């Protein structure tokens, strides 16, 4: 059996978006154009225009931004493959942060792009509705250990919703609970940064929409992944369709174990990460988790040109 590649593709989540994303790819690579055109057809409206032109306030709506980031990320992947004449090194694993996990499903051929963007648009709608039913938000805590943040959560009635890297943990909860969590964080000498989100994602406050989301997921056909997927919730690999469906349901209301996911991929031999999609958020988290890793970004034409195995587009 041939030795597997020690590369992982990772895909960003909500918050990485910006108006103009993907426009240079659309103009430079036919494969990227096909991705945006397919999404526009699947959704029945020009999502590509929102990606390319904004306005920002419309792009950042939860039900728009989720398919927008997914589409742009897949366009980045396809452009890189086109530019390298399909010479982009194959991954041993794929993974994505929250929403990015759905992009990983497309990369692993679990879902078609058309089905994935329809699914995440519904996911975004339900997450927004959950925020209306059980108002809440999220808070980044910078500079504390997991144990210290657990203590803050216990006393403020909040939950850890993302463990991103050493010293960066996100908590979710009701607004007054997050206010208390912020005070406790400052008392411990650390920083608390409120996030601009429409709800307490990855927490029990998402429970009101879980049953409906289960129904939504049941309407889609999931294929076995062609590449192992590192799961957000368990930080273990997913290799069959049913476990992927359960992961997506749990992910909506459970903590994203991003730091552990990266550590586990490294333990299994990964030493090079390709962050594929808008922004460089995951690259920063990976560097803070393990500074010895090699990381490449693919978020636009210039990134594609700078990768050593690529030729510039004609």
- Residues 73-87: pLDDT tens digits? 999 999 999 998 888
Q: Does the pLDDT of residue 150 top 60, yes or no?
A: yes
Cα R_g (the chain), whole angstroms: 19
Q: Would you tell me how many other CB atoms lie within 10 Å of the CB of residue 157?
A: 13
How far is it, in rounded angstroms, from Cα 102 to Cα 35?
15
Q: Does the pLDDT of residue 271 top 70, yes or no?
A: yes
Residues 30 and 84 in one domain: yes
How far is it, in rounded angstroms, from Cα 31 to Cα 29?
5
The whole-number average pLDDT for the span 39-49 is 97
Query: Residue 164: helix, strand or coil by DSSP?
Result: strand
Q: Which pLDDT value is given to residue 311?
A: 43
Q: Which pLDDT value is given to residue 309?
A: 61
Q: What totals of helices (H) and strands (E) does the chain contain, helices first?
A: 14, 10
How far is it, in rounded angstroms, from Cα 36 to Cα 26?
8
Taking alpha carbons only, the member of 299, 251, 300 closest to residue 95 is 251
Crossing angle, helix 113-133 and helix 62-83, to 10 degrees? 150
Note if 49 is an active site residue: no
Residues 262 and 287 in one domain: yes
The answer to the question of residue 2 being in a domain is no
Q: Does the pLDDT of residue 95 top 60, yes or no?
A: yes
- Residues 221-253: pLDDT tens digits? 999 999 999 999 999 999 999 999 999 999 999
| Contact call for residues 152 and 212 (beta carbons, < 8 A) | no
The whole-number average pLDDT for the span 185-210 is 95
How far is it, in rounded angstroms, from Cα 303 to Cα 162?
28
The answer to the question of residue 76 being in a domain is yes
Residues 216 and 288 in one domain: yes
**Marked catalytic residue, from 202, 261, 283, 299:** 202
Strands 93-96 and 137-142, sheet pairing: unpaired
Tell the residue number behind the tokens 């939504």, with chain if given.
216
The answer to the question of residue 313 being in a domain is no
Q: Does the pLDDT of residue 313 top 80, yes or no?
A: no
How far is it, in rounded angstroms, from Cα 180 to Cα 176?
6
Residues 122 and 150 in one domain: no
Q: Which pLDDT value is given to residue 238?
A: 95
Residue range(s) defining the domain that contains residue 75: 7-132+204-306
The answer to the question of residue 211 being in a domain is yes
Q: Which domain CATH number covers 143?
A: 3.30.70.250
* Number of domains the chain is built from: 2
* Mean of the per-residue pLDDT values of the chain: 94
Global pTM? 0.95
Going across the sheet that includes 294-298, the strands are 237-238, 229-230, 93-96, 7-11, 272-276, 294-298
pLDDT bin (cut points 50, 70, 90) of residue 307 is: confident
| Contact call for residues 165 and 288 (beta carbons, < 8 A) | yes
Q: Which domain CATH number covers 217?
A: 3.40.366.10
Domain boundary among the residues 165, 194, 223 is at: 194
The answer to the question of residue 314 being in a domain is no
The answer to the question of residue 246 being in a domain is yes
The CA–CA distances, whole Å, from 57 to 111, 145, 182, 228 equal: 29, 34, 27, 36
Residues 124 and 144 in one domain: no
The answer to the question of residue 222 being in a domain is yes
Residues 246, 135, 139, CA angle at the centre, nearest 5°?
Answer: 80
Residues 212 and 70 in one domain: yes
Residues 153 and 255 in one domain: no
Domain boundary among the residues 168, 194, 220 is at: 194
The answer to the question of residue 281 being in a domain is yes
| Contact call for residues 13 and 70 (beta carbons, < 8 A) | no
Residues 123 and 168 in one domain: no
| Contact call for residues 48 and 69 (beta carbons, < 8 A) | no
Going across the sheet that includes 168-173, the strands are 159-165, 168-173, 137-142, 191-194
Residues 101 and 216 in one domain: yes
The whole-number average pLDDT for the span 46-61 is 95
Q: Which pLDDT value is given to residue 305?
A: 87
The whole-number average pLDDT for the span 23-42 is 98
Mark 7-23 as b/e (b = at least 16 C-beta within 10 Å).
Answer: bbbbbbbbbbbebebbb
The whole-number average pLDDT for the span 271-294 is 96
The CA–CA distances, whole Å, from 306 to 274, 282, 300, 313 equal: 13, 19, 10, 12
> Tokens at residue 231, please?
């799961």
Kindly state the DSSP code that residue 20 receives in the 8-state scheme.
T
Residues 16 and 160 in one domain: no
pLDDT bin (cut points 50, 70, 90) of residue 68 is: very high
**Marked catalytic residue, from 48, 98, 172, 203:** 98
Taking alpha carbons only, the member of 203, 235, 239 closest to residue 222 is 239
| Contact call for residues 74 and 96 (beta carbons, < 8 A) | no
Domain boundary among the residues 169, 194, 219 is at: 194
The whole-number average pLDDT for the span 86-113 is 96
Residues 73 and 218 in one domain: yes
The whole-number average pLDDT for the span 286-314 is 83
Note if 202 is an active site residue: yes
Residues 121 and 144 in one domain: no
């Amino acid at each position: 059996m041939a030795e597997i590649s020690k590369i992982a593709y990772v895909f960003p989540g909500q918050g990485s978006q910006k108006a103009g994303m993907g426009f240079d790819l659309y103009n430079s690579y036919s494969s990227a154009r096909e991705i945006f055109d397919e999404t526009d057809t699947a959704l029945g409206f020009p999502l590509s225009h929102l990606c390319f032109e904004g306005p920002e306030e419309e792009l950042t709506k939860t039900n728009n931004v989720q398919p927008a980031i997914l589409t742009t990320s897949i366009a980045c992947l396809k452009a890189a493959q086109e530019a390298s004449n399909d010479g982009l090194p194959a991954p041993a694993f794929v993974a994505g942060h929250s929403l990015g996990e759905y992009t990983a499903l497309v990369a692993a051929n679990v879902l078609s792009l058309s089905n994935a963007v329809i699914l995440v648009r519904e996911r975004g709608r339900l997450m927004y509705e959950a925020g209306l039913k059980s108002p809440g938000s999220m808070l980044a805590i910078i500079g504390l250990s997991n144990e210290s943040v657990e203590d803050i959560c216990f006393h403020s009635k909040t939950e850890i919703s993302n463990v991103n890297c050493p010293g960066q943990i996100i908590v979710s909860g009701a607004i007054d609970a997050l206010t208390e969590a912020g005070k406790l964080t400052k008392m411990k000498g650390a920083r608390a940064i409120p996030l601009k989100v429409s709800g307490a994602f990855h927490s029990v406050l998402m429970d009101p929409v879980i049953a409906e989301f289960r129904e939504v997921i049941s309407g889609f056909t999931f294929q076995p992944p062609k590449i192992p997927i590192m799961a957000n919730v368990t930080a273990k690999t997913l290799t069959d369709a049913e476990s992927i469906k359960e992961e997506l349901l749990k992910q909506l209301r459970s903590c994203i174990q991003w730091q552990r996911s990266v550590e586990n991929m490294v333990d299994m031999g990964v030493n090079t990460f390709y962050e594929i999609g808008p922004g460089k958020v995951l690259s920063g988290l990976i560097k803070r988790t393990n500074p010895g890793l090699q990381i490449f970004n693919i978020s636009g034409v210039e990134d594609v040109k700078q990768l050593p195995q690529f030729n510039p587009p004609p």
